[in-house]
Amino acid sequence: MPILDLLMGRPLANWEEHGEQVGPSAGIPIFGLDALSSAAYGPEAALTLLIPLGLLGVQYIIPVVGAIVVLLIIVYFSYCQTIEAYPQGGGSYTVASENLGPHVGLLAAAALMIDYVLTAAVGISAGVGALVSALPKLQPHTLGLCLLILFLLSFVNMRGVRDTGVAFLIPTYLFLGSLLIVILLGIYHVITTGGHPVPVMPVPRLPAATATLTLWLLAKVFASGCTAMTGVEAVSNGVMAFREPVTRNAKRTLTIIIALLIVLLMGIAYMCQAYGIGATNPEGPAYQSVLSQLTIAVAGRGVFYYVTIASILLVLSLSANTAFADFPRLTRAVALNDYLPHLFAIRGRRLLYSAGVYGLVFLTAGLLILFRGVTDRLIPLYAIGAFLAFTLSQSGMVMHWKRKGGPGWQWKILVNGVGATATGLTLLVVLVAKFAAGAWVTALLVPLLIMVMSLVKSHYARVDSQTQDDSPLDMSDVRPPFVIVPLDRWSRITEKGMRFALALSHDVQAVHIDCGEHNEALEATWQRNVIAPVKAAGLPAPELVIVQSPYRVIILPLVDHVLKMEQQYKNRTIAVLVPELVVKHWWENLMHNQRAQLLKLLLLVKGNQSIVVLNIPWYLQE
């Protein structure tokens, strides 16, 4: 498999786990991309809703972003405590399950799964949105570009955690560098012009106001802006991916991410207000993202502009990667508790939970196709899952400290309690503000997912109750099976089968299905080639049973005969021997009836605990 190895990387052994662990410098691209890239769409989502207010609307962006930053700081402290308490990975699912019971855990799992799928979809479509702003000619290909990036991302991710971090290092730091330069340059312009900066190149004018601010609109703007907070839980969920000292590395990574995010959010809000830059209609032909306008205003449409836009595109697309890092870990944790197929708990060749990666790609692609790849349509669906998970996680932590105590537990309860309350209230605002716009889909999907997971659990419980066993092997009544050998004509294949049957048991019965052809010859052959040598060897002679089949079907009378024998020999294992010709090339199968396959299948379907199938292959030589 050298090509596979080249593309996907060689398989990793269990003991190479350690080499796959990361520190803060790689941790930021892996777990921080989602949070950091939110800077590119959070403010934009808020500004889009402010379009009807015209230039006045832009003035509201600073207080809105300010509120979000306050919330962010609360959540930050709250998650620092979670990381400390759950060094093995304290995703909302784990925390909620352990502290609030399995049902609440499922609620968190469902919310997070939806959140991650939306993270991937929103990230990619926002990246493509940035690209389309720079090259409007590409707009008709939006969906195609989205799917292409999804494919590339999943490909990189299949190489494992470490390779992914390395691959994303440069775009991440380029993005941070460019945006910080834009912000610093903007502040410099503002200062040098005494607070009235003139754009280097003209930016689209804001349309005239057509509405005034209401509390309802403000709630919707805040709810949209809150998408900037998604991705904050990623670090606490993936703690175990960090190298020793695990807790310190994880907390340091989270601190850097949150600090950078606050700087970006506040910087963008300030620039927008200073330059009077608002959002443009994302579905209109003249769509241009807020960051694109800001960069043009501050630095013109030169090389720097294209570098910045490219890095935004890259990082937005790559922000989907946080979902790739966390979704498989989440589904694995859920699968370990029997709420998802066990497949999700199996590590693939690069130590990844591959089924989770495939699941994520499948769902994200579906979503992108459904929404034709336009970010804005996805945002209403988005924040619900994230804030539900936040709230449950923080509430779980409150219960955790209450149960566990420890030094300063009251303070810890306070921090997590404030976090839970703040995110819970935000959840309510988002739910109400966005319900009609699409949040109802999430509200519908969550119970559906919980139902599916409960069904999976009950299936596994049923399997366990029926197969679990710690009793010793029952050695009573261990005796050879009653062996049935289907016989078409005497051949070396049949001979091999009969030899095997006679090696297993003294009770052997050959069955021939007669469609109205040569019988006497077969019976003579049987006497000569079977009965005689078996008797000579001193064994009891096997029986030849001929079953008439006037309608020329072979398999059904055979299966019926087996079932009849099973009735006759109660408490005895009936072993049906199926001789099978194995050919070298697939097309050779066309030359032979597939009765062996059909017989095996029917015996499995119509059979019962007493019937087993012995498959005796005969290999055809070249």
* CB-nearer residue toward its own copies: 443 or 613: 613
Q: How many CB atoms lie within 10 A of CB 387?
A: 29
Exactly one of 192, 210, 467, 571 binds its own copies (CB under 8 A); that residue is 467
CB of 22 to its own copies, least distance (A): 21
Options 143-151, 248-256, 324-332, 528-536: segment touching its own copies (CB under 8 A):
528-536
Beta strand pairing status for 574-582 and 543-548? unpaired
Binding to its own copies, residues 306-345 (CB under 8 A): 341-343
* CB-nearer residue toward its own copies: 88 or 608: 608
Classify burial at 181, counting beta carbons within 10 Å of its beta carbon; exposed 0-12, middle 13-18, buried 19 or more.
middle
438: left (phi over 0), alpha (psi -120 to 50) or beta: left
Binding to its own copies, residues 4-63 (CB under 8 A): 11-15
Q: Find the Cα–Cα–Cα–Cα dihedral 133, 134, 138, 140, rounded to 10°.
A: 10
- Rounded to an integer, what distance in angstroms lies between the CA atom of residue 53 and that of residue 61? 12
Exactly one of 243, 301, 349, 506 binds its own copies (CB under 8 A); that residue is 349
Q: Is the Cβ–Cβ distance between 130 and 404 less than 8 Å?
A: no
- Note whether 240 binds its own copies by CB under 8 A: no
- Rounded to an integer, what distance in angstroms lies between the CA atom of residue 252 and that of residue 255? 5
Residue 543: phi, psi to the nearest 5? Answer: -95, 145
- Note whether 460 binds its own copies by CB under 8 A: yes
* CB-nearer residue toward its own copies: 372 or 479: 479
CB of 483 to its own copies, least distance (A): 10
CB of 512 to its own copies, least distance (A): 16
* CB-nearer residue toward its own copies: 140 or 551: 551
Give SS3 for 482.
Answer: strand
- Note whether 520 binds its own copies by CB under 8 A: no
Longest dimension (CA), the chain: 115
Binding to its own copies, residues 561-600 (CB under 8 A): 573, 575, 580-582, 588, 590-593, 600
* CB-nearer residue toward its own copies: 409 or 618: 618
Binding to its own copies, residues 482-511 (CB under 8 A): 490-496, 498-500, 502-504
* CB-nearer residue toward its own copies: 199 or 341: 341
CB of 46 to its own copies, least distance (A): 41
- Note whether 346 binds its own copies by CB under 8 A: yes
- Note whether 481 binds its own copies by CB under 8 A: yes
Exactly one of 88, 214, 571, 621 binds its own copies (CB under 8 A); that residue is 621
Where b means 16+ CB within 10 Å and e means fewer, 455-482 reads ebbeebeeeeeeeeeeeeeeeeeeeebb
* Lookup result for tokens 């919707």: 220
Q: Find the Cα–Cα–Cα–Cα dihedral 586, 590, 591, 595, rounded to 10°.
A: 100
CB of 609 to its own copies, least distance (A): 6
- Rounded to an integer, what distance in angstroms lies between the CA atom of residue 141 and that of residue 128? 10
- Note whether 516 binds its own copies by CB under 8 A: yes
- Note whether 606 binds its own copies by CB under 8 A: no
- Rounded to an integer, what distance in angstroms lies between the CA atom of residue 310 and that of residue 314? 6
Options 151-159, 265-273, 395-403, 612-620: segment touching its own copies (CB under 8 A):
612-620
Give the count of residues interacting with its own copies (CB under 8 A). 87
CB of 576 to its own copies, least distance (A): 10
* CB-nearer residue toward its own copies: 77 or 500: 500
- Note whether 475 binds its own copies by CB under 8 A: yes
Q: How many CB atoms lie within 10 A of CB 242?
A: 27
Query: Among candidates 252, 273, 103, 307, which has minimal Cα distance to 195?
Result: 273
Binding to its own copies, residues 537-566 (CB under 8 A): 537, 539, 550-553
Exactly one of 248, 372, 479, 518 binds its own copies (CB under 8 A); that residue is 479
Query: Among candidates 342, 415, 393, 398, which has minimal Cα distance to 91?
Result: 393
Start-to-end CA distance of the chain, whole Å, equals: 26
* CB-nearer residue toward its own copies: 214 or 476: 476
CB of 103 to its own copies, least distance (A): 21
Query: Among candidates 383, 330, 389, which has minimal Cα distance to 78?
Result: 389
- Note whether 615 binds its own copies by CB under 8 A: yes
